[in-house]
Amino acid sequence: MIDVLDRRVFVLGLAVLLAGCAPRQMEDTGAGLVSDPATPGPAPPAPPAPPATGEAQAAADLFGAIERRRSVRAFAADPVSGEHIALMMRSAQGITDPASGFRAAPSAGALYPLELYAAAADGVYRYSPADDELRRLNDNDVRRVLALAALAQMFIAEAPVVFVVNAVYARTAAKYGERAERYVHLEAGHAAQNLMLTAVHLGLGSVAIGAFVDEGVRRAIAAGNDETPLYLIPVGTPER
């Protein structure tokens, strides 16, 4: 019995001795033995977000233009370049698929009943989608005449350029009959929104005008009798 006890004491003493010689990995916290946690270092910096490219950047640009679009009725005297006028017309009625002739705005039956004009200080222009060209009809500044035709909304005359969207209902009616008017009006809205969002992208402002005397607008831009004006869209740099 004494020998067994002596062995136990010896083994216990040996264990205590070995524990004292081992590297300290535990500490007494007063609540039992717990692991000694390593002191955390500073977190590594998060990698920078990659720049938006391709489709992501295009989507960001588009949504940015949608968010910033507002109706603008006060314009600075800054001119709008011919290049920018052409770009806005192209966004509204330009051919985007040469093989099919499809345009930037959807059209019922791809019949394209709209005609697009621009009135600036140096004259009246008509857009030709087939050639992607602005064709000058005359060198008359008719912006004031358009403003008077629009029930004397004279801020229209202060815009560097005023776009006019006309419709030839017969082109669509030949296929869709009584539904044609609705389809043409939908198409005019598509085209106008394209134009106004492009204006925002170019740092310009615009407003859609629907209150005017049709015949006064038609005469001002020398449009054909088969054309019905649907929109006036003054465009320019917003006044600060």
pLDDT tens digits, 136-152 = 999 999 999 999 999 99
Alpha carbons within 13 A on the beta-carbon side of 41: 2
> Which domains are assigned to the chain?
68-236 (3.40.109.10)
Q: β-pairing, 205-206 with 228-236? A: antiparallel
pTM (2 d.p.): 0.78
pLDDT tens digits, 28-70 = 444 443 445 555 566 666 666 666 667 888 889 999 999 999 9
Average pLDDT over residues 2-27: 46
Higher pLDDT among residues 18 and 229, named by residue? 229
How does residue 134 score in pLDDT terms, banded at 50, 70 and 90? very high
Q: Which residues contact 63 (CB under 8 A, 6 or more apart)?
A: none
Statement: residue 159 has pLDDT above 80: yes
Predicted pLDDT at 45: 66
